Amino acid sequence: MKFYGTGIIWDAVKNKVLCKFEKGILETDDSYICNRLKELDYKHDEVIVKEEVKEIEKPKTKRKR
């Protein structure tokens, strides 16, 4: 998920640095960081993961006549 902000964000819950924005952007898949930044109302892009569904192809067999 992509978040927008500046500087270093302190996590008061864990009493340590939560994250650091580079050039105003932070990309992460870490669910804890995502949830904390959402709770702190940081702007973000929603990422919709589409599960690819592939059809299983049956092998073509030659019929004997």
Give the pLDDT confidence of 1-35 residue by residue, as tens digits. Answer: 999 999 999 999 999 999 999 999 999 999 999 99
Whether residue 33 is contained in a domain is answered as yes
The answer to whether residue 31 sits within a structural domain is yes
51 assigned to some structural domain: no
Residue 36 within any structural domain of the chain: yes
Instruction: Evaluate whether residue 28 is within a structural domain.
Output: yes
Domains: count for the chain: 1
Residue 10 belongs to domain spanning: 2-45
Q: State whether the Cα torsion 37-30-21-2 is positive or negative.
A: negative
Buried b (16+ CB within 10 A) or exposed e, 7-39: eebeeeeeeeebbeeeeeebeeeeeebbebbee
- Enter the pTM of the model: 0.67
- On whether residue 58 sits in a domain, the answer given is no
